[in-house]
Amino acid sequence: MEGAARDKVNLIAKSVGTMVAMLLLPQIAVKVNKIILCGVPSVSSERRKLFQDALKDFPIKNIICFQNRQDPICSYREVKVFLRQVNPQIRVVEMPRHDHHYPYFAEFQKFLFA
């Protein structure tokens, strides 16, 4: 791999890291290839604006969110509605766990290397 493609990174962000990623993305977007979000911790109109602003120029096909069905911090259903409002094309994958752990390394790899 040559040039800019070799220098790109993939972001995997969990919980509050999803918000940090959205704060940083406008500054580093040219260096980011794909983004995996998991365990989005909260949804609000302020957070929606943060996500919308951060992702407005980022290729939506290069972002995915994994959210546990019954994450005690924020459920799959809440995150699905939230991200649909951010951009209806963002893929949100429902995972079967009932906690805030996201050990889905095989799924992460499938997305990153697809």
Task: Report the C-alpha gap between 7 and 88 in whole angstroms.
Answer: 29
Query: Angle at CA 45, nearest 5°, toward 42 and 47?
Result: 50
Record the pTM: 0.92
Q: Which domains does the chain have, with CATH numbers?
A: 3-113 (3.40.50.1820)
Handedness of CA 50, 80, 21, 54 (dihedral sign): negative
Question: 20-64, pLDDT tens digit by residue?
Answer: 999 999 999 999 999 999 999 999 999 999 999 999 999 999 999
For 109, the enclosing helix (H) or strand (E) is helix 105-113
